[in-house]
Amino acid sequence: MIHLHDIRYVRLGTANLESAIEYATQILGLEVARREGKAVYFKSDSRDHTLCYFEGDPSDHTSAFEVDTSDELDSAAALLEAKGYQVRRGTAQQAEQRYVREFINFQDPSGNSIDLVYEPLHSGRRYFPTRDAGITGFSHIGLRTQDARRDELFWTSLLGAKVSDRIGEAPLLRIDDVHHKIALFPSNRPGVQHINHQVQSIDDIMRAYYILTEKGIPIRFGPGRHPTSGAMFLYFAGPDDMIYEYSCGVRLITEEDEKTYRPRTFPAIPSSFCMWGSKPDIPEFKEKRDTN
C-alpha cells in the first residue's frame, strides 16, 4: 500500500493569468513566491508553494501528495501499474517546475490528475500574506468523483487513506491526524471541486465574510460549521468556477482515537454539511432529489 505523507500543492490552468494573480493575492491573501514564464507560484505556509496558476485550460487540475522516500515513489509506480493504471514519470525539467526532486503522475478512476512527489522544497522564508486573512496553511481539497464508492476503494486500498465520515455517498478521507485531507464529491466530471486553507480563528472567517461581501465576491456557503469535522467554514467563488474555503477548528483523529473511532454516515441534506443552518450554493453539496 502507498503511504501519503501529506498533501502538497494544486496546479490550476487559467484562461486569464493576471486576473488569477490578482485574486490569489488581493482576495485569497496568498503571497507570490515567484513568476516563471506563464506560471505563478503562491505561498500559504512554510512550503515552497501550495498553489500554482498557469496559462492553460481551466479544467486542467493536478493535485499533489508527498511520499517519504524515492523507494516509496518507485514502489508506488510499480503498484499502480500492476493494478492497470498508466503512470508517467516526470522529467527533470517537469520536476524543476514543481520544485520537487522526483514525481510520478497518474489519474484516479474518475480521471483526476494526481502527482506523487518526493523531496518537495520548503521555503527558508516565512509566508507573508498580501492581506490579513489569518491563513495558517493549505489543508485539503475536494475532488469530483463519477463513482464515489469505486473511488473510495481506490484511495483507501491503494493510497492508504482512511474514511473519517461520509455524507451520502461522499467520503471524507484522512491520511494523517486531520479529519480529512481529501473529500470525494459525486459529479459528472473530474477536477478539483474546492481548495481549503486553514485560518487561525472564527474571527478570520467572519472578517473574510464581510470583506468578500464588500468586494462583491459571491459567498457560496456559510459562515457555518460542519457536523462531520467540527470545522467552522466559509466557501466563496474563485477564478474559473473554482471554490475556495477558509476553515478553522477541524477535528483531529489521532492514533489513540482510531482504536475506538468509527466512520459515521450522514444523509446528503444541507444539515449534514452545516449544523448552523447555512444552505450551500455549491452543486455537489446540494440535496439530490429524484425527479422521476
Q: Is the pLDDT of residue 291 over 70?
A: no
Span 170-197, average pLDDT? 97
Predicted confidence at residue 148, as pLDDT, reads 97
Q: Is the pLDDT of residue 7 over 60?
A: yes
State which amino acid sits at residue 220.
Answer: R
* Secondary structure element (H or E) that encloses residue 66, with its range: strand 61-67
Domains, the chain, ordered by start: 6-118 (3.10.180.10), 135-278 (3.10.180.10)
Distance CA(165)–CA(136), nearest Å, equals: 24
Band of residue 209 on the pLDDT scale cut at 50, 70, 90: very high
Up-side HSE of residue 104: CA atoms within 13 Å toward CB?
22
Q: Is the pLDDT of residue 292 over 70?
A: no
On whether the CB atoms of residues 201 and 216 are closer than 8 A, the answer is no
User: In a 3-state reduction of DSSP, which class is residue 189?
Assistant: coil
Band of residue 288 on the pLDDT scale cut at 50, 70, 90: low
Give the long-range contacts of residues 90-95, CB within 8 A, separation 24 or more: 90/115
Q: Has this prediction a pTM greater than 0.85?
A: yes
DSSP 127-163: ---SS---EEEEEEEEEEESSHHHHHHHHHHTS--EE
Span 262-279, average pLDDT? 96
Model pLDDT for residues 71-120, shown as the tens digit of each residue:
999 999 999 999 999 999 999 999 999 999 999 999 999 999 999 999 99
Dump strand ranges (E) for 92-231. 102-107, 113-118, 135-145, 162-167, 170-174, 182-186, 192-199, 219-225
Count of residues making up the chain: 292
Predicted confidence at residue 286, as pLDDT, reads 84
Tell me what percent of the residues of the chain surpass a pLDDT of 90: 96
Residues whose CB is less than 8 angstroms from the CB of residue 213 and which lie 6 or more positions away in sequence, other chains included: 219
